A and B are shown apart, each in its own frame.
Chain A
């Protein structure tokens, strides 16, 4: 594209002069631009990684939260095949006479037994002796 053909000659001359008057960039500009691009690409890759890591962390937290929430609020009843120690523990706690609903006692016992190495230690005690 040289000049606009519909222009009168004197405007075409100005157009030509304008084209010739353009200032070319220094050779260093290319280097400066590419350095900025390289830096920006590295930064954006780093940002992408942290964004991904944050996403994974958020997903893990969500799953943990949902699991814990299910354990805390889900129905806690013992099926017939449940471990006899657990059933005994529930029974023991119930006999103590703590003011806890039955489901809550079961939940606490399940949580304690789920601790693996955590030994369930319940020292039964009854109401204070009458004097």
Chain B
């Protein structure tokens, strides 16, 4: 762990609000992008990011032992996404059904991006996860392996298969 991350971890452990703001600046947007791609809607992605930060506060005494803060946050995000999915499966409320369908980025998204997002939404969950960690989280394959509990080589090949599948899906849609 670098000196900067050590200082940040010390701040987090001490409950220093500034340290949490810094973590949000560094990783918040990436966590959000990743959650949004995985969950397919903004509201749930926001919930997931908030859950990550709440978990960070609750486990702050153990944060000193964390080797890589970025990987740690994405592990936490993965858990939050799992909780939200379970909650959503139970709920299926009418309000949720009125929201834009999974894969929609909102009115500003172009057709090309919309097609791409729809194609990503059709990938198997494990491939979508690798895409989101690599592209949105900017994690290395070693870090992805750490988050998913797989080897870096498996992460790399899963990523490549995901891209190839995406290419096929996009060609079919043309």
| Chain A interface residues (CB < 8 Å from chain B) | 1, 4, 7, 10-11, 14-15, 17-26, 29-30, 32-34, 36-38, 40-41, 44-45
Q: How far is the CA of A130 from the CA of B42 in the complex (A)?
A: 99
- Could you list some 21 contacts between A and B, CB below 8 A? A1-B140, A14-B163, A18-B116, A18-B120, A18-B135, A18-B166, A20-B113, A23-B42, A25-B33, A26-B42, A32-B46, A32-B50, A33-B49, A33-B50, A34-B24, A36-B50, A36-B53, A37-B17, A40-B54, A40-B57, A40-B58
With A19-B135, A21-B113, A23-B42 known to touch, is A36 a contact of B163 (CB < 8 Å)?
Answer: no
Select the residue from A4, A21, A23 with max chain B CB neighbours within 10 A.
A23
A-B contact count (CB 8 A): 96
Return chain A residues, CB-CB under 8 Å to B32. Answer: 23-25, 29
When the two chains form the complex, which single residue of A11, A29, A34, A37 contacts B160, counting CB atoms closer than 8 Å?
A11
| Chain B interface residues (CB < 8 Å from chain A) | 15, 17, 20-21, 24, 28-29, 32-33, 36-37, 42, 45-46, 49-50, 53-54, 56-58, 105-106, 109, 112-113, 116-117, 120, 131, 135-136, 138, 140, 159-160, 163-164, 166-167, 170
Closest Cβ neighbor of A40 among chain B residues:
B57
Return chain B residues, CB-CB under 8 Å to A25. Answer: 28-29, 32-33, 45-46, 49
B46 adjacent to A30 (CB under 8 Å): no
Closest Cβ neighbor of A19 among chain B residues:
B135
Return chain B residues, CB-CB under 8 Å to A30. Answer: 24, 28
Q: How far is the CA of A40 from the CA of B52 in the complex (A)?
A: 12
Closest Cβ neighbor of B170 among chain A residues:
A14
A29 adjacent to B105 (CB under 8 Å): no
Q: How far is the CA of A62 from the CA of B163 in the complex (A)?
A: 64
| A117 shortest CB reach to chain B, Å | 49
A11 adjacent to B163 (CB under 8 Å): yes
A15 adjacent to B163 (CB under 8 Å): yes
7 new A-B pairs (CB below 8 Å) besides A23-B37, A44-B15? A1-B138, A1-B140, A22-B135, A23-B45, A24-B29, A26-B42, A33-B50
Return chain A residues, CB-CB under 8 Å to B37. Answer: 22-23
Return chain B residues, CB-CB under 8 Å to A36. Answer: 50, 53-54
| B162 shortest CB reach to chain A, Å | 10
Return chain B residues, CB-CB under 8 Å to A23. Answer: 32-33, 36-37, 42, 45, 105-106, 109
A38 adjacent to B167 (CB under 8 Å): no
B166 adjacent to A14 (CB under 8 Å): yes
Return chain B residues, CB-CB under 8 Å to A4. Answer: 159
Q: How far is the CA of A33 from the CA of B170 in the complex (A)?
A: 36
B113 adjacent to A33 (CB under 8 Å): no
Closest Cβ neighbor of A20 among chain B residues:
B113
| B131 shortest CB reach to chain A, Å | 7
